[in-house]
Amino acid sequence: MKKFITIVMLAGLVLGTVSCNKLLEVDPKHAIDSNTALSSQEAIDAAVNGVYSRLREVGLYGRDLIAIPELLADNAINTGAGNRLVGQGINQAGSHIQTETWQYCYYINNQANLILEALEAYDGDEAYENNIAGQLHFLRALVYHTLMKAYAYDPTAIVEPSDRGGVPIINKGVLNTAQIEYSSRPTVGEVYDFIYGELDKAVLLLATNNNRITDQTFASLAAAHALYSRVALYRGDMAKVISEGELAISTSGLSLVPTEQFVNTWRTDKNPESFFEVAFVLAADHSNTTNESLRATFTTRMTATSTTTVSHGNVVVSDELYSQYNANDVRRELIVRGLGGNSSRWEITKFVSRSGINNIDNVPVIRLPEVILNMAEAYATPGSAVYNEAAAREQLNKIRERAGIGLASYSGEALFNDIILQRRLELAFEGHRFFDLKRLGRDIIKESGNVQHSDFRILANIPVREAVPNTQVTQNPGY
């Protein structure tokens, strides 16, 4: 087992020699003692916790996966304060999901690969091994879908002349640069097949000893079904959206909180409607600096009730988004005027030191309202095998009723469009809007300049240090 000594601090598989040395640097804060490396449950738990900790990086759920999709779309504007993420706000060529996102997704993939390989030789409790393996397959599915959303077209809206495929699939761990095997870009469909396979494994393994959600900061059976529902929606597999959504809800124990309790779901340490969220903790290796946290990015205040300006709050709610909320919509209560330079701007307060400690708010990755809206959209999609307007309205009205805006009786195109609108309003500033427009094949209409779906800027550029050394990886058009 000693060949796995450095499993947690190993970065991830990269596709170019230029970046290998950096990605394989030893970080002692994530090291495992050589005497116990993956030969005990304690060591395996430490290794798995190291994988989860990667999700906190600024390039992932620490900021970029939440803030950048709002800026690239029409939900947010950048005030320019602090000079962060300015290019994304105006869809500047080359300003998209950033290099670090690719890097950390493959870090996580490599760490998961190494632990899965070690589990094959681990002689321990089978239920424990299944649970760990199930969590790792869930995490691999999550990061591969993240990569696909950013760097490839979605199966529902491929621009054929510009399609260069998906992202490289790497399912073998490496411990040094000599072990790296370069890989090309499979087709979009092939990567989705792989993600489906990962979720099938996660569901099978987590089902052996995992039912209702007890701690949403770890992968669960319900979380795997919820992620499956999301992935299926991006693939246009509407029957799977429904079946997995129903399983997610039935196995989770989750339900929508009453209207009067909604705001409080964003004031507690853990959101009671979360299937899965990234935990942030005070630690020596805490990567979220004051200026790069979601709190500092989205608001000028420390807490929801603060009256003193403490940060730039450079990514704020667009006036157009704010205008879409009904005056009686409880969700609008999460949007307030900023402080100082933002006194005339709207700020979202979903991340405002909920725990009472600055910059360590948990970040919901999959919430119950998303799954409900997934199913509503699947039922309302014309031509789908599960098309059912009555069922779509039923799901939609769960969200509308909880928001306090009344039930809808829409049909046809109006029904579908309201589902997309409610998705925008419900999931605002949670990292969905750009990716929703992209998978729907819709142009981005915004004050700083419209971006057509056929524009090369819809896809992120493969990091140069990956695409140049590895000639098998074809760069996206326009870069």
pLDDT of residue 209: 65
238-249: b (≥16 Cβ within 10 Å) or e: bebbbbbbebbb
Q: What is the mean pLDDT of each run of 10 residues along the chain (479 residues)?
A: 36 35 32 54 92 96 98 97 95 95 96 94 89 97 98 98 96 84 92 98 87 85 98 98 98 96 96 96 57 94 94 97 98 98 97 87 97 99 97 98 98 98 98 98 96 98 77 90
pLDDT of residue 210: 59
pLDDT of residue 155: 98
Cα distances from 316 to residues 336, 347, 443, 445, in angstroms, run 10, 5, 21, 17
Beta bridge partners of 274: 367
pLDDT of residue 175: 85
pLDDT of residue 469: 64
pLDDT of residue 181: 81
Which tens digit of pLDDT belongs to each residue from 155-176?
999 999 999 999 999 999 988 7
pLDDT of residue 58: 95
Name the residue type at position 400. Answer: R
Query: Are 365 and 61 in contact, with CB atoms under 8 Å apart?
Result: yes
CATH architecture, range 2-279+363-367+429-443:
Alpha Horseshoe (1.25)
103-142: b (≥16 Cβ within 10 Å) or e: bbbbbbbbbbbbbbbbbeebeeeeeebbbbbbbbbbbbbb
Measure the CA–CA gap between 1 and 33, rounded to whole angstroms: 11
Measure the CA–CA gap between 293 and 405, rounded to whole angstroms: 32
pLDDT of residue 465: 76
pLDDT of residue 19: 37
pTM > 0.85: yes or no: yes
Which tens digit of pLDDT belongs to each residue from 308-353?
999 999 999 999 999 999 999 999 999 999 999 999 999 999 999 9
Among 225, 178, 181, residue whose Cα is nearest residue 371: 225
